[in-house]
Amino acid sequence: MRANPLSAWLPLGHGAPAQDSEAVRLTALAPPAPHAPSTIALHLERGPLIGQVDFRLCHACRTGRIQQIWITETWQRQGLGRQALHTALAQAPGYRWNTTTQSRQGRAFFRAMSEETGVELCSRTPPCAHLMGRYRRLWRLVRGAWR
């Protein structure tokens, strides 16, 4: 993956871990190929990765899918996941977004982010056919079992 021009130092919120008082850099990494995952990486000044958002875009269908989001436990509840998700959504304004299945904590996060951004971030809608790829048949079986 190659870095996009987007790379910025983030201001830390109150309560940032004292042992890690260095700045956090947010970097957007472009996908190596169409429909491959893009990444928003969060890392400390000296390099360790502390969080990441992976997402895929389909420009033909104007859809995006959040594949995963994680922040190291020490750095959670600092607004870093929020800022990283805003950056991912800004890569494709006006697109329809969905997410993969989420934990209870993830559902609460995406519910709050949906309210904040006005973008529905639901795990119940399947990705477009271009992003689904080999999982298309499995999705049909799962969807058929729900009916």
C-alpha–C-alpha distance, residues 7 and 29, integer Å:
9
For 139, other C-beta atoms within 10 Å of its C-beta total: 13
Instruction: Determine the pLDDT at residue 115.
Output: 92
- The conformation of residue 122, written as its DSSP 8-state character, comes to B
**What tokens does 86 get?**
């805003």
Q: How confident is the model at residue 78 (pLDDT cuts 50, 70, 90)?
A: confident
- The conformation of residue 35, written as its DSSP 8-state character, comes to T
Calculate mean pLDDT across residues 38-42. Answer: 88
Is residue 97 within 8 Å of 110, Cβ to Cβ? no
Q: How confident is the model at residue 138 (pLDDT cuts 50, 70, 90)?
A: low
Reported as type and span, the H/E element at residue 110 is helix 104-117
User: Model-level pTM?
Assistant: 0.74
Mean pLDDT of the chain: 77
Q: Is the pLDDT of residue 28 over 50?
A: yes
Calculate mean pLDDT across residues 121-144. Answer: 68
For 33, other C-beta atoms within 10 Å of its C-beta total: 6
Cα–Cα nearest to 1, from 46, 54, 44: 54
Q: What amino acid occupies position 116?
A: E
